[in-house]
Copies of this chain bind each other. A is one copy, B any other.
Amino acid sequence: MKPVLYLSVAALLLSGSLLAQTPSSTNLGRNPFPQIGKDGRVTFRVNAPDATSLTVNLGKDYPMTKDDKGVWTATTDPQVEGFHYYSLKAGGLSFNDPATHSYFGMGRWASAVEVPGAPDADFYTPKQGVPQGAVRAVRYYSAVCGEWRQMLVYTPAGYEQNTSKRYPVLYLQHGGGEDETGWIYQGFADVILDNLVAEGKAEPMIIVMVSGVANKADGTGDGFEAMVTEEVIPFVDARFRTLADRDHRAVAGLSWGAKQAYDLGLGYPDLFSWVGGFSGIIVIGEFRSRPAGYEDPEKFAAAYNGIFKSAPQFNANYHLLFIANGEAEGSHLKGMSEILTERGIDNVFYQSPRTAHEWLTWRRCLYQFAQRLFK
């Protein structure tokens, strides 16, 4: 197929035509597969004449079948719109599909498909004419971890030009098995903020993304909190034109990163006053205990050095406590939000329609959260 035809087809598909299948937006270059059908079924195609068996795993295993030219195909059950990691499996190994971009997830560089159909996709779509921020990759040395690490830092449009202006900062954490690149390449955080700021819906802000995997160099365990509070925040405040106080500093995260965000946001009230957790609970007491720690009034009052002990004081002290997840993830976070509300703790709850524990949920969470920040 000639590029010009291909692009026309893609344009038609994107505009919601009647054509049955569209290449995943995660495909490398102009690879035609994986493709997604209108019903959300994903079709994979792999050219491997010498392979004797091939399986694709997207949530579950789908054995692939080979045609007489050595091309293997499988089509999945319908998938909900959004971003889904997947693997190829052969010879007892799981690995990524060279047909797509790779994304750091599942603890390795992984393949993924984007199932289109989100009615609100506009908010995370780049647009011509929208002033753009920039994402910087910055190497930094962590003495806590004893190693060089990378942080990604989003600065909003105008940061380069308005050189006397200082900006509030959002620290934004990825989920388990992911790293500091997730919020940009899976989450489109930069596009979401560019669009929000251009529409006047969000304040221009700096976003800092670091890997949440941070083992102490001395072998004494997790160094994440020490690294962020003692190294990352001072580094960012020195390097970038930040508003370096708690009133202008937010923290949020998804899944495992939600726990980290609550630990930072509620555990360090001198540093943060805006806190968001996407698809993760406020862990109080033992993880996965029943009743959950937040359901137990005594544990709750003791948590995070008593941060919730006095609701009026918490409400006066914190600008925002934001709790969110995807509808398909269940109601436990809605329950948590309601318990907090019953106890007088102001909080905002948001649920992403239809979506599961994946990046479309978290893009929407960020979209909602960012609009409430620094106002």
A interface list, Cβ under 8 A from B = 2-5, 7, 28-30, 46, 48-54, 88, 90-96, 98, 101-102, 107-109, 126, 128, 132, 134-139, 141, 146-148, 153, 160, 163, 184, 190-191, 213, 215-219, 239-241
- Most chain B beta carbons < 10 A, residue from A98, A101, A146: A98
Name the contact of A102 in the complex, choosing from B102, B141, B190 (C-beta under 8 A).
Answer: B102
Residues of B with C-beta under 8 A to A101 = 109
Inter-chain CA distance A98–B177, complex, in Å, is: 12
* Shortest Cβ distance from A136 into B: residue: B134
Inter-chain CA distance A190–B136, complex, in Å, is: 12
Check if A219 sits within 8 Å of B3, measured CB to CB.
Answer: yes
Number of copies of this kind of chain in the complex: 2
Could you list 8 examples of A-B contacts with CB < 8 Å?
Answer: A48-B92, A90-B92, A90-B93, A95-B95, A128-B141, A134-B138, A135-B138, A160-B239
Residues of B with C-beta under 8 A to A3 = 215-217, 219
Residues of B with C-beta under 8 A to A49 = 92
Check if B135 sits within 8 Å of A148, measured CB to CB.
Answer: no
Residues of B with C-beta under 8 A to A2 = 219
**Chain B min CB distance to A10 (Å):** 10
Check if A132 sits within 8 Å of B128, measured CB to CB.
Answer: no
Inter-chain CA distance A241–B161, complex, in Å, is: 10
Inter-chain CA distance A49–B216, complex, in Å, is: 32
* Shortest Cβ distance from A141 into B: residue: B128
Check if A160 sits within 8 Å of B93, measured CB to CB.
Answer: no
Name the contact of A163 in the complex, choosing from B53, B93, B126, B163 (C-beta under 8 A).
Answer: B163
With A137-B184, A139-B191, A191-B139 as contacts: A4 and B217 at CB distance below 8 Å: yes
Inter-chain CA distance A108–B99, complex, in Å, is: 8
Check if A96 sits within 8 Å of B93, measured CB to CB.
Answer: no
Check if A102 sits within 8 Å of B92, measured CB to CB.
Answer: no
Check if A126 sits within 8 Å of B139, measured CB to CB.
Answer: yes
**Chain B min CB distance to A163 (Å):** 4
Check if B48 sits within 8 Å of A219, measured CB to CB.
Answer: no
Inter-chain CA distance A217–B8, complex, in Å, is: 10
Check if A213 sits within 8 Å of B134, measured CB to CB.
Answer: no
Check if B132 sits within 8 Å of A139, measured CB to CB.
Answer: yes
Check if A7 sits within 8 Å of B137, measured CB to CB.
Answer: no
**Chain B min CB distance to A6 (Å):** 9
Residues of B with C-beta under 8 A to A109 = 96, 98, 101-102, 109
Inter-chain CA distance A3–B4, complex, in Å, is: 53
Name the contact of A88 in the complex, choosing from B93, B134, B219 (C-beta under 8 A).
Answer: B93
Name the contact of A91 in the complex, choosing from B91, B102, B132, B191 (C-beta under 8 A).
Answer: B91
Inter-chain CA distance A160–B239, complex, in Å, is: 8
Check if B148 sits within 8 Å of A91, measured CB to CB.
Answer: no
**Chain B min CB distance to A186 (Å):** 14
**Chain B min CB distance to A61 (Å):** 13
- Most chain B beta carbons < 10 A, residue from A135, A141, A163, A239: A135
Task: In the A-B complex, list the 5 residue pairs whose CB atoms are closest, starting with the nearest.
Answer: A50-B92, A4-B219, A51-B92, A90-B91, A102-B109
**Chain B min CB distance to A112 (Å):** 12
**Chain B min CB distance to A195 (Å):** 12
Give 7 A-B pairs besides A48-B92, A98-B108, A128-B141 with Cβ atoms closer than 8 angstroms.
A50-B91, A96-B96, A126-B141, A132-B138, A134-B138, A135-B136, A160-B239
